[in-house]
Amino acid sequence: MTWTNSKDSALRERAMAVIPNGMYGHQSVMLMPDDYPQFFERAEGAYLWDVDGNRYVDFMCGYGPNLFGYAHPEIDAAYVARLRQGDTMTGPGEAMVELAEAMTRQVSHADWAMFCKNGTDATTMALMIARNFTQKKTIVLARGAYHGAAPWCTPLKNGVTPADRANQVFYDYNDVESLEAAVREAGSDLAGIFASPIKHDTFIDQEAPTPEYARRARELCDEQGALLIIDDVRAGFRLARDCSWSLVGVKPDLSSWGKAIANGHPISALLGADIARFAAATIYATGSFWFSAAPMAASLATLKLIADSDYLERTIALGERLRTGLTEVSGRHGLGLRQTGPAQMPLIMIDEDPTGAKGYFWNNALLKRGVYFHPWHNMFMNTAMTDGDIDHALQAADDAFKLLKAAGPLEPVAKLEFMHAMVG
Ligand SMILES: *Cc1c(COP(=O)(O)O)cnc(C)c1O
């Protein structure tokens, strides 16, 4: 089937009239390689179909929510059954208690759970609980880490005032000295330290936390009576069947969850240890849709698979097959790839590509061959992918490398230059 995008183009034109800039936020494809479609028709298992009917093996997984495959039969059946019985009601259903029990059973540092809709809700509650717990203001955060799109943390400064960003001190991830310096700067006003489970920033190589850094963050919080917060919204249950920092043997006081916890149904969570229970009970936190029962039923079904299946080992094996294959294919073409992050959450960038032009060309060629990759954001594996899907991606990568070599020198990507200027 030949690749076309006429329906997508028509929808984009209509969107321009009634949606600011046609689309906003992280799923806007304005800054992606030229042929990336904006609108999709269908998703099932490992595949995504755009509105023009082009099929892709989707390595973005909805930017994280898809862990067990799109439209998972058991998870969606639990969702639909709950939806028919009562979803958004005047109060929560039994599923809320069951889900809090299941989450605290699964995550070893957690004694209690609160539920909300978005990762940003959970990280914002964590910030408030740390301040309420300590009766102090300053939060220490890693430079460049993403924690959501509220005024206190959104990456672009438009519409944000200095007051929104007050009482924040930054450190460099994995740099113990800079963490200590940030905590010194916070002085007697330290409320909490935020850490991403791994360094999963955009555009740069990913890093696992060093045990020294993770342990020092814990110690500094203990010394100061502050709370340690792990933002597991993106990596939660993708690295471990527990909080991601269980892998380095460090227990946080609070952890924020979202994305994959209901395999795509809208729910997020804040988990905490007993020490922060009273502080959590005494902030005002709510939302019209936070207590909806159907996403909780979906999350319960997802947690059952997390506890009882080999999903984690499967996504790691698929990621390793992709990584090994790409190393082999790129080597054959004499082109280097920087493949960083855990195999199941890979970031893949082309070496010696300062303007991003090679990456954009290569990703665009993959797209045209039915493989949805991302040029500068970490990607995700899901359990519906097969070895055949990975091999399809490797074949597409091989073809795309051939085209890249034949293309000769490329113009810098103007839209990337624009974005870097905007973020500053
Ligand atoms: C996506 C993300 C968030 C925000 O979650 P939303 O559901 O988009 O509000 C926070 N932290 C991390 C690490 C994320 O990846």
Nearest to 105 by CA among 248, 306, 258: 306
Task: Work out which ligand 1 atom sits closest to the CA atom of 196.
Answer: 13
pTM > 0.85: yes
Burial class (CB in 10 A: 0-12, 13-18, 19+), 154: middle
* pLDDT score recorded for residue 86: 97
Domain assignments of the chain as residue spans, ordered by start: 6-61+310-422, 73-308
Distance 61 CA to ligand 1 centre (A): 14
The span from the CA of 207 to the CA of 198, in Å, is 6
Residue pLDDT, tens place only, 147-163 = 999 999 999 999 999 99
Percentage of the residues of the chain whose pLDDT score is greater than 90: 95
| Residue 75 clears pLDDT 80, i.e. is over it | yes
pLDDT tens digits for range 86-130: 999 999 999 999 999 999 999 999 999 999 999 999 999 999 999
Distance in Å, CA 409 to ligand 1 centroid: 37
Of 259-268, 372-381, 414-423, the poorest mean pLDDT is in 414-423
Residues in contact with ligand 1 (CB, 6 Å cut-off)? 118-120, 123, 146-148, 196, 231, 233-234, 258, 268
Distance 257 CA to ligand 1 centre (A): 8
Q: How far apart are CA 350 and CA 361, in angstroms?
A: 10
Q: Are 367 and 399 in contact (CB under 8 A)?
A: no
Of the CATH numbers 2.60.40.10, 3.90.1150.10, 3.40.50.1820, 3.40.1190.10, which one belongs to the domain with range 6-61+310-422?
Answer: 3.90.1150.10
Check residue 223 and give its pLDDT.
Answer: 98
pLDDT value of position 142: 98
- For residue 358, what are its two tokens? 């090679």
Inform me whether the pLDDT recorded for 85 exceeds 80: yes
255 φ/ψ angles, rounded to the nearest 5 degrees: -140, 140
Q: Which residues neighbour 173 within 8 Å (Cβ) at sequence distance 6 or greater?
A: 142, 143, 144, 145, 195, 196, 199, 201, 207, 209, 213
217 in Cβ contact with 251 (< 8 Å): no
Give the number of the atom of ligand 1 that is nearest the alpha carbon of residue 117: 7
Site to probe by mutation for ligand 1, drawn from 27, 61, 147 as the one with most ligand atoms within 8 Å of Cβ, is: 147
DSSP secondary-structure letter at 207? B
Cα(109) to ligand 1 centroid in Å equals 21
- 151-414-326 Cα angle (round to 5): 90
Q: What is the mean pLDDT of the chain?
A: 97
Q: What is the pLDDT of residues 182-201, one digit of tens each?
A: 999 999 999 999 999 999 99
Which residues lie closer than 8 Å to 104 by C-beta, 6 or more apart? 110, 111, 112, 113, 271
Residue with CA nearest ligand 1 atom 6? 119
**C-beta of residue 371 within 8 angstroms of C-beta of residue 392:** yes
226 to 53, 196, 253, 275: CA distances (angstroms): 52, 17, 9, 11
Q: Phi/psi of residue 43, each to 5°? A: -150, 130
Q: What was the pLDDT predicted at 415?
A: 82
Atom of ligand 1 nearest to the CA of 200: 13
In ligand 1, which atom is closest to the CA atom of 232? 13
First-residue to last-residue Cα distance in the chain: 42
Q: Is pLDDT above 60 for 424?
A: no
Tens digit of each residue's pLDDT (9 = 90 or more) over 333-381: 999 999 999 999 999 999 999 889 999 999 999 999 999 999 999 999 9
| DSSP states along 212-275 | HHHHHHHHHHHHHTPEEEEE-TTTTTTS-SS-GGGGGT---SEEEE-GGGGTTSS-EEEEE-GG
Q: Percent of the chain having pLDDT more than 70?
A: 99
Question: Taking the CB of residue 371, how many other CB atoms lie within 10 A of it?
Answer: 21
What number of other Cβ atoms are within 10 A of residue 209's Cβ?
22
* Mean pLDDT of the 380-401 span: 98
* Other C-beta atoms lying within 10 Å of the C-beta of residue 343: 17
Cα of 405 to ligand 1 centre, how many Å? 37
Q: How far is the CA of 333 from the centre of ligand 1 (A)?
A: 36
Question: Minimal CA–CA distance to 270: which of 124, 79, 102?
Answer: 124
Helix, strand, coil proportions of the chain in percent (round to 5)?
45, 15, 40
pLDDT at 32: 94
Task: Decide if pLDDT at 322 tops 70.
Answer: yes
**Tell me, what's the pLDDT at 396?**
98
The domain defined by 73-308 carries CATH number 3.40.640.10:
yes
